[in-house]
Chain A
Amino acid sequence: MATAGDIRASSDTLFAGAARPRRANFGQILRWALLFAGGVLMVMPIVYMISTSLKWPHEIYDVSLIPNEPHLENYTYVLEDGRFYGWFINSLIIATITTISNVLFDSLVGYTLCKFRFPGRYIVFIAILSTLMIPTEMLVIPWYLMSQQFGWLDTYWGIMFPGLMTAFGTFLMKQFFETVPDDFIEAARIDGLNELQIWWTVAMPLVKPALAALAIFVFLGNWTAFIWPLIVTNSWDMYTLPVGLSTFADEADVAWELVMTGAAISTIPTLIVFLIFQRFIIRGVVMAGLKG
């Protein structure tokens, strides 16, 4: 437990507010005001998206942020269309299954590479490491051909299979398993646990923060993934939210309030999740960014 505590402690100190308190002077106030103005500008596109999704068509020409008569008609209209429900569910299923698969397999591989000594370990390590160099775009053509051959086009499996394991996740987890003392594993072995039980009941609970960071990254990545789902799906009921939104917005053309509503529907869920787990997610991003 000591190690997991250490990780948390170190990232806590990393973000425990500014390190150097000073008395407020004019410079400090100016700095704060500029930072605040910049921050407001940063969220403006999101705010405008939501604001426009609450406006009537004739109002979208108005630059004012607050709708004259805010209403939810656009949402009812877009959702009554029915397709967004399906896309939402598709994205949710795909992102969830991919996340579970990554959390299980990346950590299993990371754990094995970290804690076992066996012939071929180095080769497997280098082989997985080298896949980090291969861009997805290079693989989409062969993946497409593969999907066509095996009938995976336009299926959940077809959308999901390329992302079920990632080298990035494997290395992130390997780094974190380094912090699990070998003594714990030895002790569990003496207690008669088999290797699978040791991994699941002893090692995994010790790297929970890292698992959460990995889960956030994989989920967000798959929720927003565009190019592969665009290629592998061709009927609208199999679209994911980004692909669906792209075609929907292209059809909606000049009805910008509907486009903004669609965009809001696909963005708001991740924003809500972020607002709830804010500190936790930022810590996870730093962990994944610096260790991965």
Chain B
Amino acid sequence: MYRTLSIRQKQIAWAWAFLALPVVFYVVIRFYPTANAMVISFQDWNLLGERSWAGLANYQKLWADPAFWQVFRNTFVYLILGTPISLVISFAVAYHLDKTRFMHGFLRLLYFLPFMTSAVAMAWVWRWFYQPVPIGLFNNLLADIGIPQVQFLRSTTNALPAILAPAVWAGLGFQIIIFMAGLRAIPQSYYEAARIDGVSGWTVLFEITLPLLRPTIVFLVVFSSIGFLRIFDQVFNMTTNDPGGPLNSTKPLVLLIYQSAFTDFDMGYAAAQTVVLFLILLLVSLFQLYLLRDR
């Protein structure tokens, strides 16, 4: 039968033969679960009992839950602190590393190495750093130079930045590498023209380098924003004794989802939270498309 097909028909047959299994995969493992999560968000279900329709009850509960707003706020604090700090540091390093020739590869290696580590392992290393004297490295160093102790993970104000630090640290290497690729892509002629015109270094930076890096910056802002909005590994591992604590001060949305679903078994409520996360991430992605459109 295959022989009687025209060349074009054979092509179509091959294409769908190649796509058959992947299409099944995407439908069963991606689309069906997405729809399912949305459906569950309108249901009341504790995993064991009956599923019953709850209408908007889960969303109303979310709206009225002070713990949710605390978590919502925390999630955005991770984003608002994490993204600018990591981008400024990585740009500064990339900008100067780009102009350094001596042992360039070695320096790049040092900055990139943390990106290859596992977030869970490093969360425990940083957790050790943050312990009070006589255990934690940071407090021991502070004690050595005579500065009073800092409560890192036990303080409701310091714990969130303390947990954010390893997340920023681990992501810097990637951002530096991407920034350097972006810097290399800027044609030399712009800089030469600026030099001939006698433009100062800062003006070159703000008038040439940064505007031409716009696509790179937009990509990194969105990429790192999505990463911080989904922070989980570091928080979970650095606060295992009281996940998201102290007093929920470090709990991000994904941890709340995890607890609602797999500690409280309130599946409908957890699903409603995932829908909220989905909408937030969707807005961030649409924002990226909007920013890149007018080029």
Cβ-neighbour of A271 out of B113, B185, B275 (below 8 A):
B113
A55 → chain B closest CB, angstroms:
12
| A144–B278 CA distance with the chains assembled, in angstroms | 18
If over half of B's interface residues share one DSSP class (helix, strand or loop), that class is named, otherwise mixed; here it is: helix
- Tell me whether A266 is interfacial, beta carbon within 8 Å: yes
Chain A to chain B contacts (Cβ below 8 Å), 14 pairs:
A24-B102, A36-B103, A36-B107, A39-B107, A42-B114, A45-B126, A46-B114, A116-B12, A133-B278, A138-B33, A144-B262, A227-B258, A249-B124, A274-B113
- Give a binary string over B178-210; 1 marks a CB under 8 Å from any A CB, 0 the rest: 100100110010000000000000000000000
CB <8 Å contact, A38 and B262: no
CB <8 Å contact, B112 and A224: no
- Tell me whether B277 is interfacial, beta carbon within 8 Å: yes
CB <8 Å contact, A259 and B128: yes
CB <8 Å contact, B125 and A133: no
**Complex contacts, B100 vs chain A, CB 8 Å:** 18, 28, 31-32, 35
CB <8 Å contact, B112 and A141: no
CB <8 Å contact, A282 and B108: yes
- Tell me whether B274 is interfacial, beta carbon within 8 Å: yes
CB <8 Å contact, A141 and B119: no
CB <8 Å contact, A133 and B282: yes
CB <8 Å contact, B111 and A266: no
Who on chain B is nearest to A220 by CB?
B116
CB <8 Å contact, A138 and B37: yes
- Give a binary string over B35-76; 1 marks a CB under 8 Å from any A CB, 0 the rest: 011001000000000000000000000000000000000000
Cβ-neighbour of B128 out of A17, A224, A256 (below 8 A):
A256
- Tell me whether B159 is interfacial, beta carbon within 8 Å: no
| Residues of A bordering B, CB below 8 Å | 13-15, 17-22, 24, 28, 31-32, 34-36, 38-40, 42-43, 45-46, 48-49, 52, 60-61, 63, 105, 108-109, 111-112, 116-121, 124, 127-128, 131, 133-135, 137-146, 161-162, 164-165, 194-196, 199, 220, 223-224, 226-227, 230-231, 241-243, 245-246, 249-250, 254, 256, 259-260, 262-264, 266-267, 270-271, 274-275, 278-279, 281-282, 285-286, 289-290
**Complex contacts, B131 vs chain A, CB 8 Å:** 256
| A245–B105 CA distance with the chains assembled, in angstroms | 32
A18 and B101 contact, Cβ closer than 8 Å, known pairs A245-B120, A256-B128: yes
- Give a binary string over B10-36; 1 marks a CB under 8 Å from any A CB, 0 the rest: 011011101101110110011111101
B29 → chain A closest CB, angstroms:
6
Number of interface residues of B (CB under 8 A): 94
CB <8 Å contact, B117 and A35: no
A141 and B240 contact, Cβ closer than 8 Å, known pairs A134-B278, A242-B120, A271-B117: no
CB <8 Å contact, A223 and B118: yes
CB <8 Å contact, B237 and A63: no
**Complex contacts, A241 vs chain B, CB 8 Å:** 118
- Tell me whether B88 is interfacial, beta carbon within 8 Å: no
A199 → chain B closest CB, angstroms:
8
Cβ-neighbour of B101 out of A21, A42, A231 (below 8 A):
A21
CB <8 Å contact, A128 and B26: yes
**Complex contacts, A43 vs chain B, CB 8 Å:** 110, 113-114
A49 → chain B closest CB, angstroms:
5
**Complex contacts, A46 vs chain B, CB 8 Å:** 113-114, 117, 125
A43-B114, A118-B12 given. 15 additional CB < 8 A pairs? A13-B184, A14-B184, A15-B184, A21-B101, A24-B102, A35-B93, A36-B103, A118-B15, A119-B12, A131-B31, A137-B257, A138-B33, A139-B29, A227-B232, A282-B112
CB <8 Å contact, B15 and A121: yes
| A135–B15 CA distance with the chains assembled, in angstroms | 28
